[in-house]
Amino acid sequence: MTGFALAPAPTSLEAIETTAAPAAAASDRFTINVLTAVLWISVLTQKIALPGNIELPLLALAAGVAVLIWRRRALLSPNRLMLFVTLAGAIAIEQAVFAVRRDVSLPAMLVALALYALFVFVIPLERPKILQVLRRFQTVVLFIAAMVGVDWAFQFAGRPMPSFDAFVPPAYLYQAYNYIQPLTWGAAYMKPNGFFMLEASHTSQLLAMGLVLEICLFRRWAYIAALVVAQLASFGGTGFVLLLASLLCVVPFYVRGKTLLLLVLLLVVAAAGASQTPVWHNFSKRSGELTTEHSSGNGRMVEPYTFMADRIANNRRTLVSGIGPGNGKLDLDRTSQLVINPISKAVVEYGLVAGLLWMLLLHLSVIRTAAPGVAAFVVLIQYDFLNGALIVPIHLVYCYVLAAAYSRPRR
């Protein structure tokens, strides 16, 4: 008899788990890489459009989800599917009833259904893997922050900012965005747009989302400092709105003690420095616009709700089925400053029932996620309040890849 005891033979379940672990890790890496590619492609090509003014990120997101379905990494969610089918049915019935009485933009309706159909698929990932996706997103944000620096470097050298429009034929540019904007009317300098972004406000919002995620999840002080500087340099008021809302509502739940104190000191120093520059004047001016009719701030934050309330209160047909997909921007009574946010656009163009079902699908998908709550918060603030984001693919990419995509793996 030897002095060595034989280890008991592994059970069949243990053998399967041992064999499956490397395969599962490789599958997770593949999923993370696909989602990373979707983020990079979407951010860098958001100014490129297909015929019909369809933003290229729609294809990037659809292709990424299709690949993950093929590899069995994206699964159908029955609850989301049921809600989406109900929404599609409501839209089809309501628009068919009144189709003969108005023009309906069929492309707008099809783009809308194609975009939100992707949300019925979920990707089972453990929390550490989701954090890897978000960490990769931070690299994208840091790259855009660097492009803000490039924009200012060119201007300080007496040269115009690099323009994406100079490299792409006008027929292939995504329309309806103000890519080049002066800091103020008649100013010599332009707001930095990060070269690849639709406009300066989108640059500011992306930087704010990245800054909030960095503060709450990763806390790399070099990243935080770089993003604070880039945010101040962006001169974008909507990014400051997102940042302020996050600092008040979610950051205190993630950051405590010395870290919170250091963060407050950093923000005080940044605010003190900003107060001596035009960025502070620009932000304070934009903040005062909320109560000023026909101003940018009022048109983005107040008028969408008064516009929606007026339309559904004074026209029963609008209440039932809306004024038709794509017709909100043609309304003669809207001002040039009105930015129709998702809830107002969905209700005004598709009717109250369809609009509420639409918002229910998006918000439940984003909130009922395995991703960190702060990711859901920042994408919803950006989606709900800061843009006309209902059928703009880049905003749906943020909602899906940063939050809505994830479910907890079944054991």
How are beta strands 406-407 and 75-76 bridged, if at all? unpaired
**In the predicted model, is pLDDT for residue 288 greater than 60?**
no
Q: Which amino acid type is present at position 279?
A: V
Is 195:164 a contact under the CB 8 Å cutoff? yes
Give yes or no for residue 283 having a pLDDT over 60: no
Separation between Cα atoms, residue 385 and residue 343, nearest integer Å? 9
Work out the average pLDDT over 24-51: 94
Instruction: Read off the pLDDT of residues 263-274 as tens digits, 9 standing for 90 and up.
Output: 777 777 766 666
Residues 6+ apart with CB under 8 A from 142: 210, 223, 226, 227
- Output the average pLDDT for the chain: 86
Q: What is the pLDDT averaged over residues 65-72?
A: 97
pLDDT band at 157 (very low <50, low <70, confident <90, very high): very high
Q: How far is Cα 89 from Cα 350, in angstroms, rounded to an integer?
A: 12
Q: Is the pLDDT assigned to residue 398 strictly greater than 60?
A: yes
Question: What's phi and psi for 121, nearest 5 deg?
Answer: -100, 135
Burial of 217 (0-12, 13-18, 19+ CB in 10 A): middle
Query: How do strand 75-76 and strand 121-124 relate by DSSP bridges?
Result: antiparallel
pTM: 0.89
Q: How far apart are CA 114 and CA 86, in angstroms?
A: 15
309-328: pLDDT as tens digits: 888 888 777 888 888 887 77
Number of Cβ atoms within 10 Å of the Cβ of 93: 13
